[in-house]
Structure 1
């Protein structure tokens, strides 16, 4: 692995806030909002398709997004495949109606919500502290709908520099999948500093956060009881309580713990999804940009990830499963960059090949039993090791290189 850039080695431990939207930043009871929203959408499309048919396949598409558990396609693509072909109307015709709905009719639903001024105060204070802030709303809505709801909350995306605002166009996972939170962090370059998830839902927000090993501030009443089996939350209270709580704690206690099996698998799923999003519009010549002559470019890092996935990660999993207490060699994969001419390879092809290789690894992870995770081996450097620990190293390797790619990307994109 090449040395990290100086700005990475000296990175300040800045808090990352992942803020839910509905009933966290915006008072919007979704049990009331969703029926009115669906009724309005059905009415807007009624001249092309019956509201009953539209609603049926809207739910089919939505349920497909909720169940999706792979980095192979965005939620938007998945929804479209399950929605449009079943309606019997040309997609271009429906798209015109849907675009008009979100531009003209959806904004009129603001009356179903109420802004929380204390949420605006919290966000403005967080930015003043230099915190990194994302809106980690469940990405089952199109971007236009999310942006409208942020404006209703008094947090217009045109005004506030949120690093990520999740929507179905570019996300691959949804809550409560821990891979969703991993994808948000991946899109932000996955800093190794403290992270706090802020949300109200004891299933969607809490399971996603705890499955990845992220601390959570639960937006709830004082008398709310944690569901059975949930881990303790880091803090609880109203959105207005959050600032004082953050000022009262040592933020080192908010350093995530990514060691659990669920966190390892979520990382493995989210890294290729995040890389696809970050690098989707990268100019061809930018793939070869490097912050320093001795440091790798993006194409070299992605090529490294591809070959490590093919020739190290997956074979090691197979070795653990096939042999009793196998010896695991310490491969020097850094030399491959020069030997294999990574700098001259095609970046988009390397990324596609990495994702294809990772899909094979994910298939292997999906089939692991509890006993498989604990299968033992002997590592040339680390000594006695089990498969779970080996996979933890794989996940950390992913995060390190994602940070490198993100820092290069941030330096060369507007």
Structure 2
């Protein structure tokens, strides 16, 4: 595992997320294809909270506080509790980008971390390296989700026309 490559991917993914949200109106950012699905604003709110309260914090505990319990998180519950969809897109995106920049700086400042350091979670043992890999993978899951939201919004906006000529989604 090349940590500098993964750290760069986190930096690149922040820019990708920013680009996927560029130009979205507040109405589009709050739109959901279905009530149970997340909006773009909920995705970026989730990413901002994850950046502040999950990955960096839990990686820090695993590397530097062996034996201490991770602080609790509730990513699904935060969507409602933190009222993501009522927020401002620009402010929420900036909160994510600022937190991500702090994470990148923190990662680059680590001195010979033990990527095999472990934490025993309710779901099993996880290594520090697993957390870093999952952090990058988490971005990709939500990048895909943002692209899917763009697709669904487009499909709705072009009715009565169709996008089938583009290929199957």
**What TM-score comes out, normalization by structure 1 length?**
0.35
CA drift at 1:262: 4.1
The residue that corresponds to 1:388 in the other structure is 129
Higher relative contact order (CA 8 A, sep 6+): 2
Alpha carbons 1:328, 1:378 under 8 Å: kept: no
Equivalent position to 1:270, from 4, 12, 16: 12
Checking the alignment, whether the CA contact within 8 Å between 1:329 and 1:380 is kept in structure 2 is: no
**Matched position secondary structure for 2:119:** strand
Number of the residue aligned with 2:148: 407
Q: CA deviation at 1:331?
A: 3.1
Q: Is the 8 A contact 2:33 2:153 kept in 1?
A: no
- Quick one: distance in 1 between partners of 2:72 and 2:142? 18
Asked whether 1:363 is paired with 2:105, we answer yes
Instruction: Tell me, yes or no, if structure 1 residue 333 matches structure 2 residue 78.
Output: no
Deviation at 1:279, TM superposition (A): 1.5
CA contact (8 A) 1:287 1:297 kept: yes
C-alpha separation in 1, matches of 2:50 and 2:141: 14
Other-structure match for 1:18:
none
Q: Aligned partners of 2:67 and 2:116: how far apart in 1?
A: 11
What are the equivalent positions in structure 2 for 1:261-340 lying under 5 Å apart?
Answer: 261-328=3-70, 331-340=73-82
Aligned partners of 1:330, 1:310: CA distance in 2, in Å?
Answer: 13
8 Å CA contact 2:53–2:73 kept in 1: the answer is no
In the TM superposition, what is the alpha-carbon distance from 1:291 to its structure 2 partner? Answer: 1.6
What TM-score do the two structures reach when normalised by structure 2? 0.81
Task: Map 1:66-77; keep pairs closer than 5 Å.
Answer: none
Unpaired runs of 5+ in structure 1?
A: 1-258
> Quick check: 1:328–1:380 contact (8 Å CA) kept in 2?
no
Tell me, which stretches of 5 or more residues in structure 2 are unaligned?
158-169
| RMSD across aligned positions (CA) | 2.1
Q: Distance in 1 between matches of 2:52 and 2:95?
A: 9
Q: Any conservation in 2 of the 1:372–1:387 contact (CA below 8 Å)?
A: yes
Alpha-carbon shift at residue 408 of structure 1 (Å): 0.7
1:325 deviates by: 4.3
Q: Match of 1:372, SS?
A: coil
Structure 2: how far apart are the matches of 1:305 and 1:371?
Answer: 25
Distance in 2 between residues matched to 1:300 and 1:372, nearest whole Å: 34
Counterpart of 1:200? none
CA distance in 2, matches of 1:325, 1:362: 25
Deviations 1:214-264 (A, max 9, x none): xxxxxxxxxxxxxxxxxxxxxxxxxxxxxxxxxxxxxxxxxxxxx653442
What does the per-residue CA deviation read over 1:289-343, in whole Å, with 9 as the maximum and x for residues that have no partner? Answer: 1121110000001001101111112211321233124444673310111111111
1:403, distance to aligned residue in structure 2 (A): 0.6
